[in-house]
């Protein structure tokens, strides 16, 4: 899922940016969402704190109430992976962005060909996501789901449907690829804890073999821990 979060205090720009995104995304198979805001308010702040996958912020550098650079600082407090693009009619902010060291993807002047530059930027970002080894791409009939490895907690098997269920911080996704495929492809991150379960070793904070439970760093847990895999798990932890 690609999640676009757009802020501009002029509705004409919100509509234009939204149309550009739709034009690009309709030509891809990626699932995507859009959230639009006219101000950096409480509703927008919920998105900063929401653990969404593949966030792309397209932000007005200055609204009536807030400075976008301050917003970028707030985003970066807990999220170093989100993409941030600024739109501005005030080119003077360019040097400030470059000096801010906030990992801003770029700044687009509203006095230039915004549609062309923004379209090129989004296509470039999508290509990077598509080729990122840290992202698992699950292809369904009509869409592609891009899942950051870091967001995966564990994978299980839906035997009756012969599907693998990928459980992340925010949702569960089914796919046709087997646990064995993921175990081989991502052996440095995913480890087997049960014949029907792989876990992201980087997200685990505790294994309780007595209770057969695995505890994750987002306070979730799952009872899919077999003593059969204890040695293998310990090798992975202490390698």
**206 backbone dihedrals φ, ψ, rounded to 5°:** -160, 140
Report the range of poorest mean pLDDT among 5-9, 18-22, 95-99: 95-99
Confidence at residue 126, expressed as pLDDT on a 0 to 100 scale: 92
What is the structure's pLDDT at 223?
94
Residues 134-173 have pLDDT tens digits of 888 887 766 778 888 989 999 999 877 788 999 998 889 8
178-213 pLDDT, tens per residue?
999 999 989 888 999 999 999 999 899 999 999 999
pLDDT digits (tens, 9 = 90+) for 50-75: 888 899 999 998 888 888 889 999 99
State the pLDDT at residue 101. 62
Q: Do residues 162 and 178 lie in contact, with contact meaning Cβ atoms separated by under 8 Å?
A: no
CATH of segment(s) 2-130? 3.40.50.2300
Average pLDDT, the chain: 87
Residue 75's pLDDT is 92
Where helices occur in 36-157 by DSSP H, the ranges are 42-49, 68-78, 94-100, 114-130
Question: What's the confidence (pLDDT) of residue 96?
Answer: 60
The separation between the first and the last C-alpha atoms of the chain, rounded to the nearest angstrom, is 33
* Contacts with 55 (C-beta within 8 Å, 6 or more apart), sequence order: 3, 5, 47, 79, 81, 82, 83
User: What pLDDT score was predicted for residue 238?
Assistant: 67
Angle at 169 between CA 198 and CA 85, to 5 degrees: 125
What pLDDT does 22 receive? 96
Neighbouring CB atoms inside 10 A of 207's CB total 19
Could you state, in order of their start, the residue ranges of all structural domains in the chain?
2-130, 149-237
Q: What is the pLDDT of residue 84?
A: 93
Model confidence at 232, in pLDDT bands (50, 70, 90)?
A: confident
What confidence score (pLDDT) does residue 152 get? 94
State the pLDDT at residue 162.
81
Per CATH, the number for 149-237 is 2.40.50.1020
Residue 131's pLDDT band, with cuts at 50, 70 and 90, is confident
Return the structure tokens found at 95: 């040097």
Instruction: Quote the CA–CA distance of 42 and 50 in Å, as a whole number.
Output: 12
Q: pTM, whole model, 2 decimals? A: 0.74
Ranges assigned E (strand) in the chain: 2-7, 32-37, 55-60, 83-88, 106-109, 135-139, 144-148, 152-158, 163-168, 172-175, 190-194, 197-200, 204-208, 213-216, 221-222
């Amino acid at each position: 899922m690609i999640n676009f979060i757009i802020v501009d205090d002029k509705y004409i720009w919100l509509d234009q940016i939204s149309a550009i995104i739709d034009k690009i995304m309709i030509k891809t198979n990626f699932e995507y969402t859009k959230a639009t805001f006219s101000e950096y308010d409480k509703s927008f702040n919920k998105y900063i704190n929401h653990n969404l996958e593949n966030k792309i912020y397209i932000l007005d550098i200055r609204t009536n109430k807030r400075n976008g650079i301050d917003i970028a600082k707030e985003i970066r407090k807990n999220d170093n992976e989100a993409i941030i693009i600024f739109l501005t009619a005030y080119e003077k902010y360019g040097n400030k962005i470059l000096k801010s060291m906030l990992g801003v993807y770029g700044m687009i002047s509203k006095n230039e060909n915004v549609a062309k530059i923004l379209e090129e930027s989004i296509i470039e970002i999508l290509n990077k996501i598509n080729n990122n080894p840290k992202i698992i791409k699950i292809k369904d009939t009509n869409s592609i789901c891009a899942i950051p490895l870091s967001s995966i907690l564990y994978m299980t098997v839906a035997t009756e449907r012969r599907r693998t269920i990928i459980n992340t911080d925010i949702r569960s996704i089914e796919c046709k690829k087997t646990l064995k495929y993921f175990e081989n492809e991502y052996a440095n991150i995913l480890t087997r804890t049960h014949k029907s379960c792989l876990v992201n070793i980087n997200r685990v904070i505790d294994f309780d073999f007595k209770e057969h439970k695995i505890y994750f760093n987002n306070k979730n847990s799952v009872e899919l821990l077999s003593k059969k895999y204890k040695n293998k798990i310990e090798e992975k932890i202490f390698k």
